[in-house]
Amino acid sequence: MLRDYFGGPGAPGAAGLDFIASPLERCRETMERARDAMGLDPIAYATDPRLMELSFGRWEGLTWSEVKTMDPWAAKAREGDKWDFQPPGGESYAMLAERVRPWLDQLVQDSFVVAHGGIARVLMVMIGGISRADAPVADIKQGRAMLFENGGCRWL
């Protein structure tokens, strides 16, 4: 799909894009594969720690079933307000948006970004026209690119 979008007839191409990834290994690997698929030097991109995934704090690494068993009150509270709920020792989506805002504000040109589901969800709200209620439950398609343009967003 990336080759079609960036290399096919009438495609906008990768020239002039900034390439930025979360510094976490899985995002760097994805960026390198994407750049290779676009015919670009796989390692010629920047990383930014503000693009790291949402932290679930003490819930990190647990299944949702384990969280509900271990902390039923907090699990219920999160179900009631996924955007603003902060897991114990972790971040809410609202807090993640505050972390991402300075990065977003400093962008000066179109960019190809490889990050995580939480980052995609906050960008859906910040620039993609999706509500705070809908973004935390939006379908995230692993290995697919999302295009943000004209106040909306769509999967490529």
Supply the pLDDT for residue 3: 53
- Predicted TM-score (pTM) of this structure: 0.88
d(CA 87, CA 130): 23
Supply the pLDDT for residue 7: 54
Supply the pLDDT for residue 9: 46
What does the buried/exposed string (b/e) look like for 80-118 if buried means 16 or more CB atoms within 10 Å of the residue's CB?
Answer: eebbebbbeebbbbeebbebbeebeeeeeeeebbbbbeb
Supply the pLDDT for residue 4: 54
What sign has the CA pseudo-torsion 138, 129, 34, 6? positive
Supply the pLDDT for residue 98: 98
CB 22 within 8 A of CB 115: yes
Domain layout of the chain by residue ranges:
2-54+91-155, 55-89
Q: Tens-of-pLDDT digits for all 156 residues of the chain?
A: 455 555 544 445 677 799 999 999 999 999 999 999 888 999 999 999 999 999 999 999 999 999 999 999 999 999 999 999 999 999 999 999 999 999 999 999 899 999 999 999 999 999 999 999 999 999 999 888 899 999 999 998
Tens digit of pLDDT for each residue in 11-46?
Answer: 456 777 999 999 999 999 999 999 998 889 999 999
H or E element in which residue 131 lies: none
At the top level of CATH, the class of 2-54+91-155 is alpha beta
Supply the pLDDT for residue 38: 86
- Phi and psi at residue 74, to the nearest 5°: -65, -40
Residue 59 one-letter amino acid: W
What sign has the CA pseudo-torsion 124, 142, 133, 106? negative
